[in-house]
Amino acid sequence: MQDIIKRNNITIKGKGEKTMLFAHGFGCDQNMWRFITSDFEENYKMVLFDYVGCGKSDLAAYNFERYSNLQGYAQDILEICSALELKEVIFVGHSVSSMIGLLAAIEQPNIFSSMIFIGPSARYVNDSDYIGGFSTEDLEGLLEVMDNNYIGWSNFFAPVVMKNEDKPELTKELEESFCSTDPVITRRFAEVTFFSDNRDDLPNLSQPCLILQCSEDSIASDEVGLYVHKQIQNSTFKKMKATGHCPQMSHPQETIELIQNFLKQQSY
């Protein structure tokens, strides 16, 4: 248990008995939930963590083979739940963590009571009958820039992801988050994220699922979010006024209200 707490820099807070597990997105860390977690402290126990290679996780625990696909990160989720003896977990995942949580919930469905996906994408690469938002060449070019000019990539990619020009401090924070991580690990996580394909996994999710779709999201478009919604039988799709890909930071109040409304419907 102590090894896992150290490995993933686990933080536990809140006064409630029902557990909310917050899983951050690519290049981020648990601190990026800070604008919304305070609204859930009174009624929920909140578990936050950093993926290995992100935030204040234990970098020595990084294993290239284990984290060569999203299943390795899903195993981390399950190990966290096991170590803390968590049950009936409300999973809140941002971006790639949506699919990581999906894989964890499919493997051990008894642990999770409901899922909340913020900006999910089951596949980022366009296919013959599927719009993922990027061509293979687009993503290979992005990885090449990461290899050749990591700082330049951070400067370019952060505003694309955040897309809230009126809040430059958030773009700066995301950029600094990219730069604070190990560039080799981050580059590997990027490759694993952007070339994953979880389309066939979506129908296997049995828990109620809320899908929050941002407006003007350059990473996960409306088509992507609606695809996820159509493939998950027991899902609710909400189009947000929030722009960009990080509404928990740029539009926390709207994010809070949509999550709270969903949880009320689940009688939590």
Please list the active-site residues.
Answer: 95, 217, 245
Give 190: exposed, middle or buried? Use CB within 10 Å, 0-12, 13-18, 19+. buried
- Write phi, then psi, for 204 (nearest 5 degrees): -90, 0
**SS3 of 85, please?**
coil
Q: Kind and range of the H or E element at 209? A: strand 209-215
Q: Which of 20, 6, 26 is nearest to 186 (CA)?
A: 26
CA distance 28 to 145: 19
Cβ distance 125 to 199 under 8 Å? Answer: no
What are residue 115's DSSP bridge partners? 91, 209
